[in-house]
């Protein structure tokens, strides 16, 4: 009865994000009431293994008392103060230092925001401001990638390349262009992965020349596209992209909102791929999702130019929020002192990948891929030809619903199934995740024609 009460309230008053409002009218939302470790409980008492760490963010797992303590201590001491007009408070500057210690060399400053979307809005404004200070205000176009995800604000959704999002609200805004993603399984067109990686990377050069190099401010990309379907680029991809960016003096903004804080087994995805970003957008794992917070980590040579520019007219009421910052500091301490990132790199990441690869034998699976605590598989009608199921069969959605009903959160992006569990997941819990995923693939297969 309580479930129905909450569902009725939701229906009467709540417009939830990224939800199909037609479907919600028919069946109410699932109500999640509590969580511990890698598990969630719904209002009916069902226990569900959270294979997505919330939205790729609960890196240290649920129920960490240390984080609760850190936040409540800060709340008593100084619950809020702003950072506008040359003000600071200890948690913000301590956190900025902690992030700088973990970031790639030469990145020592952080601009705080309230979310990943705000971080990417900040990236857009920062790169344009940077070139304007350098006397090149026309160098203001930013190139992103089709199917990339950089958030839901007008700038974030524009930088991203989700066509469904662009279709709602007249996006992208002017001054933003896109190139293809390095999605070999879906778009490789018969090339081997390395040749394909070069081909899609070379699109960046063509796009720069088409726009005019004097017009292009920056390229923005996730080291591994998350929401687009855990797109692991071929090895040839990033080195070629780096060459092109250097050749034309174009800034590189790495969106580390998903990859940051250990998901790949390195602190940042940029470190895994040996990238040298000029800016890094961060959020999610920064606080393990316990409180909202994001930021942009900025390279020293950019900061030097910004210093010449005087006031940057940009910032948020909650930039560097002291409670979120104190919690983030404690979160980073846990990640470090418990060796969580190291464990993902050396033990549990390889273990998940090994066990995940076993699913490749399933008749419904056309490809498996992954890195660290990120993994995806592609549902196909025909393993050999990679033919997909007709869209109206909604194979991915069915699989996702079977998972939920059987105690596993697995995300569906079309017919790509994704997991990104808390980084603290144990080997036994990984075994459980794989067993449940396999069972739900079987259930999905039994409903598919042929």
Binding site for ligand PLP (CB under 6 A): 55, 115-117, 120, 149-151, 222, 226-227, 255, 257-258, 283, 294
Q: Vertex 178, ends 174 and 179: CA angle to 5°?
A: 160
Q: Can you tell me which residue has the tokens 């090149």?
A: 136
Nearer Cβ to ligand PLP (408/420) = 420
CB of 380 to ligand PLP, least distance (A): 25
Which element (helix H / strand E) includes 39? Answer: strand 39-42
Neighbouring residues of 79: CB distance < 8 A, sequence distance ≥ 6: 322, 323
CB of 127 to ligand PLP, least distance (A): 16
DSSP letter for each residue of 308-342: HT-------TTTT-HHHHHHHHHHHHHHHHTTHHH
CB of 180 to ligand PLP, least distance (A): 18
Nearer Cβ to ligand PLP (70/257) = 257
Full strand arrangement of the beta sheet holding 294-299:
107-113, 294-299, 279-282, 251-255, 216-221, 141-145, 176-179
Q: Whats the size of the chain, residue-wise? A: 450
Nearer Cβ to ligand PLP (172/294) = 294
Contact yes or no for 159/190 (Cβ under 8 A): no
CB of 49 to ligand PLP, least distance (A): 20
CB of 40 to ligand PLP, least distance (A): 18
CB of 17 to ligand PLP, least distance (A): 9
Q: What is the 3-state secondary structure (H, E, C) of 16-27?
A: CCCCCHHHHHHC
C-alpha dist (Å) from residue 399 to 303, 354, 361, 377, 404: 47, 21, 17, 12, 9
Provide the token pair at 364. Answer: 């419904």
CA-based end-to-end distance of the chain:
41
CB of 53 to ligand PLP, least distance (A): 12
Nearer Cβ to ligand PLP (227/434) = 227
Neighbouring residues of 407: CB distance < 8 A, sequence distance ≥ 6: 46, 47, 48, 49, 436
Nearer Cβ to ligand PLP (7/331) = 331
Nearer Cβ to ligand PLP (50/222) = 222
Nearer Cβ to ligand PLP (41/146) = 146
Report the residue number whose CB is nearest to ligand PLP. Answer: 116
Q: Is 170 helix (H, G, I), strand (E, B) or coil?
A: coil
Contact yes or no for 176/159 (Cβ under 8 A): yes
Nearer Cβ to ligand PLP (258/375) = 258
CB of 286 to ligand PLP, least distance (A): 10
Q: Give dist(CA 189, CA 299) in Å, integer.
A: 37
What's phi and psi for 91, nearest 5 deg?
-60, -40
Q: Which letter does DSSP use for residue 264 in this model? A: T
Nearer Cβ to ligand PLP (117/236) = 117
CB of 120 to ligand PLP, least distance (A): 6
Nearer Cβ to ligand PLP (54/366) = 54
Neighbouring residues of 369: CB distance < 8 A, sequence distance ≥ 6: 185, 230, 232, 375, 376, 377
CB of 160 to ligand PLP, least distance (A): 8
Nearer Cβ to ligand PLP (227/323) = 227
Q: Vertex 122, ends 279 and 306: CA angle to 5°?
A: 65
Asked, as a colleague might, if the bond just before 172 is cis with ω within 30 of 0, I would say yes
CB of 259 to ligand PLP, least distance (A): 8
């Amino acid at each position: 009865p309580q479930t129905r009460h909450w569902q009725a309230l939701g229906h009467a008053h709540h417009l939830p994000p990224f939800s199909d409002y037609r479907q919600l009218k028919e069946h109410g939302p699932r109500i999640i009431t509590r969580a511990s470790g890698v598990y969630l409980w719904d209002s009916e008492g069902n226990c569900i293994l959270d294979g997505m760490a919330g939205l790729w963010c609960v890196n240290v797992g649920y129920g960490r008392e240390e984080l609760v303590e850190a936040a409540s201590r800060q709340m008593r001491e100084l619950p809020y103060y702003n950072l506008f007009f040359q003000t600071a408070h200890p948690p913000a500057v301590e956190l900025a230092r902690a992030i700088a210690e973990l970031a790639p060399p030469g990145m020592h400053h952080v601009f705080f925001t309230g979310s990943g979307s705000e971080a990417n809005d900040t990236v857009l404004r920062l790169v344009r401001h940077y070139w304007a200070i350098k006397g090149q205000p026309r160098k203001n176009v930013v190139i992103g990638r089709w199917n990339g995800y950089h958030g839901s604000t007008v700038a974030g959704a524009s930088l991203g390349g989700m066509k469904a999002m662009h279709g709602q609200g007249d996006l992208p805004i002017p001054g933003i262009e896109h190139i293809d993603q390095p999605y070999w399984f879906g778009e490789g067109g018969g090339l081997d992965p390395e040749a394909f990686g070069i081909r899609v990377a070379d699109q960046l050069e063509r796009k720069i020349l088409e726009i005019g190099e004097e017009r292009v401010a920056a390229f923005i990309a996730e080291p591994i596209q998350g929401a687009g379907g855990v797109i692991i680029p071929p090895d040839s991809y990033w080195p070629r992209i780096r060459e092109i960016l250097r050749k034309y003096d174009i800034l590189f903004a790495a969106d580390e909102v998903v990859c940051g804080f250990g998901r790949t087994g390195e602190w940042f995805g940029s470190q895994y791929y040996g990238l040298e970003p000029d800016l890094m957008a961060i959020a999610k794992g920064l606080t393990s999702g316990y409180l909202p917070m994001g930021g942009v980590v900025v390279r020293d040579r950019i900061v030097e130019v910004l210093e010449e520019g005087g006031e940057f007219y940009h910032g948020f009421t909650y930039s560097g929020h002291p409670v979120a910052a104190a919690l983030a500091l404690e979160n980073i301490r846990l990640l470090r002192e418990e060796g969580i990132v190291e464990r993902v790199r050396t033990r549990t990441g390889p273990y998940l990948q090994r066990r995940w690869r076993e699913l490749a034998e399933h008749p419904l699976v056309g490809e498996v891929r992954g890195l660290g605590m990120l993994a995806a598989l592609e549902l196909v009608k025909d393993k050999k030809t990679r033919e997909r199921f007709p869209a109206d069969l909604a194979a991915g959605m069915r699989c996702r619903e079977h998972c939920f009903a059987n105690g596993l959160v697995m995300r569906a992006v079309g017919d790509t199934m994704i997991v990104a569990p808390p980084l603290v997941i144990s080997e036994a819990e990984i075994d459980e995740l794989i067993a449940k995923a396999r069972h739900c693939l079987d259930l999905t297969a039994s409903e598919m024609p042929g």
